[in-house]
Amino acid sequence: MIILTILFLLFSNSVTLRRDLSILFNRIAIIALIYSTLHEIASLTILSKSISLHGGLLHVTNITQIFHVFIFFTSILILELTSFYFHFKMRDYPLILLFIVSGSIFLISINDLVSIFILIELQNYGWYLLSVIYRNYELSTTEGIRNLRVKILFNQISKVRFYSILTAKKTQTQLIFKPRFITGFTDAEACFSINIYRKNRYKTGWTVQPRFIIEVNQKDLDLLYKIKAFFGGIGSITSRKNVAIFSVSGIKDLTVIINHFDKYPLITKKQADYLLFKMAIDLIDNNEHLSMEGLQKIVNIRASMNKGLSNELKVAFPKIIPIDRPSVLNCKIQDPSWLAGFTSGEGCFFVNIINSSSYRQGFQVLLVFQITQHIRDEQLIRSLIEYLNCGNIYKRQDVYDFKVTKYSDLTNKILPFFNNYPIQGNKSRDYQDWCRAVEIVKSKDHLTKEGLDNIIKIKAGMNRNRS
């Protein structure tokens, strides 16, 4: 019954936008604990002395059962506070408490020293898992250290060594990307959105769904899974046609996203959308979206984000006063990992072959590195010239192109930079092919028919032509 209670609480705490369901499942958990309490009280009347199980490993007496009843009763009180007085913001405590309780009940009844340390070891693994589920990395680290202390103590007693596979996997995940790389890729490919839909079962007739989204080509599906792992496994990944989408919703999971971008800020104009998104999250977390007044505030925020409001929302909320869009003042690149992430999303490596009578083969090979951005990010795109100490800016319609075409700049600045701060995803394959073309040009083989044919073949498999 305790395990069933823990499962109910896990489900309850995952439902963040439906407070009524959270309360419902907490109350079901209370019923399960009451059943466990009654079961222990009934056992007291049957068990006159004691009983041993598994060769004396578990030893149950009236005293241990009284402790069980006390632990269950304490858990019920905390769940009562959570269910009926949720303004105390104690949603996470019952789950953590019940996990401790489940281990405590076994510890009270265990009659073997080695088994006690094994159980403590398992509890610490559980603490670590629980911390990761709730995306609290500070708590995860604390429990990991505590887990290590238990291991050392256990090793001294039984000379048995345990290795934390979970800790190793988490460390491996963190080594995949640097945080600034994630920020750069987000500046290139991500979106912060507040979706507002009609839902008649709600008091306001509307529901609000905040989402963090990264949408890429299907070829970069593996990259999305790596990003998902970087954030601790939160969110979901879906695919349709040629598009792959990483999406994070729910206040608890979005808190992980917010913590990251508070620490490693965006530097494009997308930062303004993020700040507005964060304002809406605060309103939702305080349940203000459940009233018309709070919903109107969120609509006002939504009006200043991305492409603004749909016609349906404009009609439904005629008294819209858009929130002033925050200013993004710091648009300079401060970390090379950011540029690696941004280029993985927005960069392009081209091999252009043009007719030219100046060359014996009748063709000239032009190598180009390019980043394109909307004109609203003019300050950022111009800062690339200063940061990389090369390139030029070209304007076309409503975008700016940053281009590096000078061969010496490509070989002495662009190549060394991305060799030290690698591009990730499918674009890394384009970069590798582009480097092959650079080597052919460097050796002057492009001036021969064979070399030119090799470059034409490389170009035919790059960018959109890549299968």
Domains in the chain, CATH or no CATH each: 177-316 (3.10.28.10), 340-465 (3.10.28.10)
Quote the CA–CA distance of 383 and 386 in Å, as a whole number: 5
Contact 23/126 with Cβ under 8 angstroms?
Answer: no
Kindly report each contact of residues 67-75 with a partner whose C-beta sits within 8 Å and lies 24 or more positions away, as own/partner.
67/108, 68/36, 68/40, 68/105, 68/108, 69/37, 69/40, 69/41, 71/101, 71/104, 71/105, 72/33, 72/36, 72/37, 72/40, 72/101, 73/37, 75/33, 75/101
What is the three-class DSSP state of 328?
Answer: coil
133 vs 4, residue with greater confidence: 4
pLDDT given at position 23 = 61
Quote the CA–CA distance of 164 and 3 in Å, as a whole number: 23
Quote the CA–CA distance of 207 and 199 in Å, as a whole number: 6
pLDDT given at position 446 = 86
Has this prediction a pTM greater than 0.75? Answer: no
User: What values do phi and psi take at 201, rounded to 5?
Assistant: -75, -10
The amino acid occupying position 177 is F
Task: Using the CB atoms, write b or e for 431-443: b if 16+ within 10 Å.
Answer: bebbbebbebbee
Q: What is the pLDDT of residues 242-275, one digit of tens each?
A: 899 999 999 999 999 999 999 999 999 999 999 9
pLDDT given at position 174 = 43
Quote the CA–CA distance of 131 and 140 in Å, as a whole number: 5
Cα three-residue angle 378-379-384, rounded to 5 degrees: 95
pLDDT given at position 85 = 44
What is the three-class DSSP state of 117?
Answer: helix
Residue ranges with strand state E in 241-331: 243-249
Lowest mean pLDDT among 118-132, 200-214, 245-259, 319-333: 118-132
pLDDT given at position 177 = 83
Q: Is the pLDDT of residue 302 over 60?
A: yes
286 vs 110, residue with greater confidence: 286
User: What values do phi and psi take at 395, rounded to 5?
Assistant: -105, 135
Q: Is the pLDDT of residue 165 over 90?
A: no
Quote the CA–CA distance of 417 and 409 in Å, as a whole number: 11
Quote the CA–CA distance of 63 and 85 in Å, as a whole number: 33
Q: What is the pLDDT of residues 92-142, one digit of tens each?
A: 555 565 666 666 666 666 555 555 555 565 556 555 555 544 444 444 444
User: What values do phi and psi take at 433, rounded to 5?
Assistant: -65, -40
pLDDT given at position 49 = 59
State the DSSP H helix or E strand holding residue 289, giving kind and residue range, or none if neither: none
Strand bridging mode 347-355 / 392-396: unpaired
Give 416's contacts (C-beta < 8 A, 6+ positions apart).
Answer: none
Mean pLDDT rounded to a whole number for the chain: 79
The amino acid occupying position 426 is N
pLDDT given at position 242 = 87
Cα three-residue angle 438-439-445, rounded to 5 degrees: 105
Quote the CA–CA distance of 266 and 276 in Å, as a whole number: 13
pLDDT given at position 163 = 34
Lowest mean pLDDT among 17-31, 215-229, 338-352: 17-31
Contact 193/305 with Cβ under 8 angstroms?
Answer: yes
Q: Is the pLDDT of residue 386 over 90?
A: yes
DSSP per-residue letters across 167-212: HHHHHHHHHH--HHHHHHHHHHHEEEEEEEEE-TTSTTSEEEEEEE
Quote the CA–CA distance of 134 and 102 in Å, as a whole number: 19
**Among 256, 306, 263, 311, which Cα is nearest to 281's?**
256
Half-sphere exposure of 403 (CA within 13 A, CB side): 14
User: What values do phi and psi take at 330, rounded to 5?
Assistant: -90, 95
Strand bridging mode 243-249 / 236-240: antiparallel
Contact 363/355 with Cβ under 8 angstroms?
Answer: yes
Lowest mean pLDDT among 140-154, 157-171, 269-283, 383-397: 157-171
Greatest mean pLDDT among 37-46, 86-95, 133-142, 282-291 lies in 282-291
pLDDT band per the 50, 70, 90 thresholds, residue 76? confident
